[in-house]
Amino acid sequence: MQRNDLSRSLVAFDQNSTLVAVVELSLNRWVVQGLVPGLSKQPLKALGPDASALLALVNRWQLEGTKGGGRIKRIVVAFEAGRDGFWLARWLRSRGIEVYVIHATSIPVSREHRRAKSDRLDTELLMRALLGWLRGERKHCQMVRIPTIEEEDARRPNREHQTLVGERTRNVCRIKSTLVLHGIRDFNPKRLKASERLETLRCPEGGSLPPNTLAELRREMAQLRLISGQLREIEKTREERLKRAPRQGTHPIRTTAVPNGAKRGCPGRAMRVSGAAWSNWPGVGSGSKRTAN
């Protein structure tokens, strides 16, 4: 069995001595549901997006459970991966709380056409999935490995590169679509002197492009130049990092094995791969899997 198996818990679970809390995170409020030894009912509390208030609530539940006769030896907090990222998990761990982040797509959801939707039902679904995972049962949910700040920051260039590649593609498609409306099909916006050639384009009728259309295309070309410059800057930074320390960093990129048949030992060629290929590069993309040595 792999040491980093996140499909089930490898730690013995004693429900009579474990305080379990799940948090439904949203933009304006957090809904917390607990399973507290010593309390007859499962407490449910809505909080503002405040980590200190969440920690105080968990500590209060621990005190109430102890007064109710429970012997709490372990505290587990879990929430679903989402827009808040992993900062909350790191913050709670630094304060002695055992915390897990649930993979959002690993929780089974009812496919009924009219399924009730509320924070209470969402927390109950999270609680059922978490309890099954803690018991060591498979197919309840999948946990996500909590990265460090350095590991998260190392992924930013890749994600920005993917975003910019998508924006460049949309930008080129808009330019070509606008020109096709006027019967022009042989214009490539990505060429070096495309902006100069834009001024000389002629419609099939023999006239130049209408003034508003030409002004729009100029702005689109300016955006395209900006995006292309940002992409070159990211690729140059990657290239310099490879030359300086090819085997150091959170996600070491080795020139001995590069995707898409890129030339071995040439970091510049290795960098200029598509966003999809770069994200699938082992150890780089957010969805990469790690195995224990």
Q: What is residue 33's predicted lDDT score, i.e. its pLDDT?
A: 94
Q: What is residue 106's predicted lDDT score, i.e. its pLDDT?
A: 83
User: Residue 5, CB half-sphere, CA atoms under 13 Å: how many?
Assistant: 14
Residue 30 near residue 4 (C-beta atoms within 8 A): no
Name the amino acid, one letter, at 49.
Answer: P
Domain 15-144 in this protein, CATH class: alpha beta
Q: What is residue 115's predicted lDDT score, i.e. its pLDDT?
A: 57
Residue 250 near residue 151 (C-beta atoms within 8 A): yes
Whole-angstrom Cα distance, residue 59 to residue 57?
Answer: 5
Q: What is residue 267's predicted lDDT score, i.e. its pLDDT?
A: 42
235: which 2 tokens? 């690729």
Question: What is the three-class DSSP state of 240?
Answer: helix
Q: Pinpoint the residues of the chain covered by CATH 3.30.420.
A: 15-144
Q: What is residue 145's predicted lDDT score, i.e. its pLDDT?
A: 92
Q: What is residue 84's predicted lDDT score, i.e. its pLDDT?
A: 87
**pLDDT digit string (tens) for the chain, length 293 residues:** 445 578 888 888 999 999 999 999 988 999 999 999 999 888 999 999 999 999 999 999 999 999 999 899 999 999 999 888 899 999 999 999 999 999 988 887 766 655 555 656 788 889 999 999 999 988 788 899 999 999 999 889 999 999 999 999 999 999 999 999 999 999 999 998 898 898 899 999 888 899 999 999 999 999 999 999 999 999 999 889 888 877 765 544 443 344 444 444 444 444 444 444 444 444 444 444 443 33
